[in-house]
Structure 1
Amino acid sequence: MRRIIFSVILWCIPFAAFRAGSSSPVNEMAKVEECEELYEVMQLDGVVNPVAFRQAVAGYNKIEQRKRDILTLIDFSKPSTEKRLFVFDMRQRKLLFSSVVAHGRNSGGNYATSFSNKEGSYKSSLGFYLTESTYQGRNGYSLILEGLEKGINDRARERAIVIHGASYADPSVIPSSGRLGRSLGCPALPQKLSRPIIDAIKGGSVIYIYADQPDYLTQSSILHSIV
């Protein structure tokens, strides 16, 4: 039954949606089965949002510039008090890390609900990224991100949107505030996990930042033709 529910929720796309030049229904069903198998093998049921996972895997498979078989999903449909960053080894087919992660201060309180690509917005940005090199900055060991989607996250570098550790992103702050602290737009991690996660994903892996935002899907250059 769970298998059926996964397929219906995740892949219920009318055949009319297959535009000229797009994948055939047969090919799409093969992708359904592959993604569902990954979800089961990695034992993600009840841990990872299947819709977010499906979109992350679809984009990962489309991004030819990636240099590593690592996929990171940040699920901003979850509150900051829950683990919502997941790192997957796609070759070994396993979940490597799960962690809480902070969002931008102007994106919302416990939930991130507003997103921006603008300098000075102090909001998080959705969509697909490639990881680049690391550096030591004012927030310590940090990872540069390249936003891949024009108008959605392509100003990440000039906005200094990077992955880094922060004391305000530690679960220990939740009891006093009811949520994690917030960043200036960066996906900030607990300091004890930031280095191992950064080392696992640096150097050309894919990151997907998800939220339940239909407008993103209509604008995404990566997902609009396959979701």
Structure 2
Amino acid sequence: MWADAYTACRMIRPLRTLLASAPVLGVLFSLPLSAHAADSLGDALARLAPSADPHVIGLAVKASECAQTQGGQPADRLAVIDYSKPSSEPRLWVFDTVNRKLLFQELVAHGKNSGDANSTQFSNAPNSLASSLGLFRTSDTYTGKNGYSLRMQGLEPGVNDQAMARAIVIHGAAYVNEAMAKVAGRIGRSWGCPAVRTAIAHKLIDALKGGQMVFSYYPDKRWLASSHYLKCQNGQLAKAETSIASRAGG
């Protein structure tokens, strides 16, 4: 009898401890959700793409949100290209900024006159065969010599505003493939277009068509210091964040 009572007592003590700690456990389990809700969009997207530079993601979000406060239509998708990474590595990320999801993480080509495995030179000039930096807004699609393609409007004067005239578009290309990257140490190069794998080109283009944002980055000091879209006031950016959250029902 005493043995039974002793056993019961030993069982009750852990239960009491567990019940007493329940409020604390509840707080601990709720912290990640609260932290996530309080995250900025840049922080949230950077977490979705661990291989991306969080600083670059942050700049892309800032530029995109700035554009949307300048009277531009709301954008639900953001593509980020980090040309500081070699072409043999995935350096294109496409995000759903409303639902905070990573849609694509891909290889992407740079222009043949921008560099070999690494891109270091950029241009806005016609016939330069080089990539352009800065913020773009996507336009319509068409089918041309490179198949299904997506036009982009360069938003930064003197930096990428010749994109339409230069036919700088997103399209699929056979020379963008992992096998070539492993053998040659780089993928093929375009005439300035951010070309992607043919297998995903159609879906990626459909995700970005019709007024979405594309941000092409390289640590070019002159561009970083002069870009209008990287100089928005905090109040403007907060307004853009609120607008995005409302579209997500948050």
CA distance in 2, matches of 1:117, 1:49: 25
User: Which has more radius of gyration?
Assistant: 2
The gaps in structure 1 that reach 5 residues or longer are 1-31
Q: How many Å apart are 1:71 and its aligned residue?
A: 0.5
Q: What residue number does 1:38 align with?
A: 44
Tell me, in whole angstroms, the C-alpha distance in 1 between the residues paired with 2:233 and 2:219: 17
Contact 2:43/2:58 (8 A) holds in 1: no
User: Are 1:98 and 2:102 matched, yes or no?
Assistant: no
Q: CA deviation at 1:137?
A: 0.3
Cα pair 1:68 1:203 within 8 Å, conserved: no
Q: Which 5+ residue runs of structure 2 have no aligned equivalent?
A: 1-37, 235-250
**Aligned positions of 1:47-86 closer than 5 A:** 47-64=51-68, 65-86=72-93
Give yes or no for contact 1:76–1:209 (8 Å, CA) kept in 2.
Answer: yes
**Deviation of 1:172 (Å):** 2.1
For the 8 Å contact 1:171–1:190, the answer to whether it is kept is: no
Q: Is the 8 A contact 1:60 1:71 kept in 2?
A: yes
Tell me the distance in 2 between the aligned counterparts of 1:137 and 1:143: 10
Q: CA deviation at 1:157?
A: 0.5
Total equivalences in the alignment: 194
Aligned amino acid, residue 58 of structure 1: K
Distance 1:82 1:226, change over 3 A: farther
1:8 alignment counterpart: none
Identity of aligned residues (%): 42
The equivalences for 1:59-208 within 5 A come to 59-64=63-68, 65-208=72-215
C-alpha distance in structure 1 between counterparts of 2:202 and 2:222, whole Å: 33
1:52–1:226 distance in 2 versus 1, CA, 3 Å: farther
> CA separation in 2, counterparts of 1:92 and 1:170?
29
1:211 counterpart residue number: 218
Amino acid across the alignment from 2:220: Q
Per-residue CA deviations over 1:11-45 (Å, capped at 9, x if unaligned) read xxxxxxxxxxxxxxxxxxxxx951454146x433x
CA distance in 2, matches of 1:185, 1:54: 25
Question: Which deviations, in whole Å up to 9, do the C-alpha atoms of 1:138-167 show, x marking residues without a partner?
Answer: 000000000000000000000010000001
Q: Hey, what's the Cα distance between the residues in 2 that align with 1:36 and 1:140? A: 33
SS in structure 2 of the partner of residue 110 of structure 1: coil
In 2, Cα distance between equivalents of 1:119 and 1:36? 33
Matched, 1:220 2:227: yes
Q: Which amino acid letter does the alignment assign opposite residue 206 of structure 2?
A: D
| Aligned residue identity for 1:217 | L
Q: Name the amino acid aligned to 2:40.
A: E
Q: SS where residue 222 of structure 1 aligns?
A: helix
- The letter for the 2-side match of 1:138 is K
TM-score normalised by L of structure 1: 0.81
4+ residue runs over 3 A deviation: 224-227
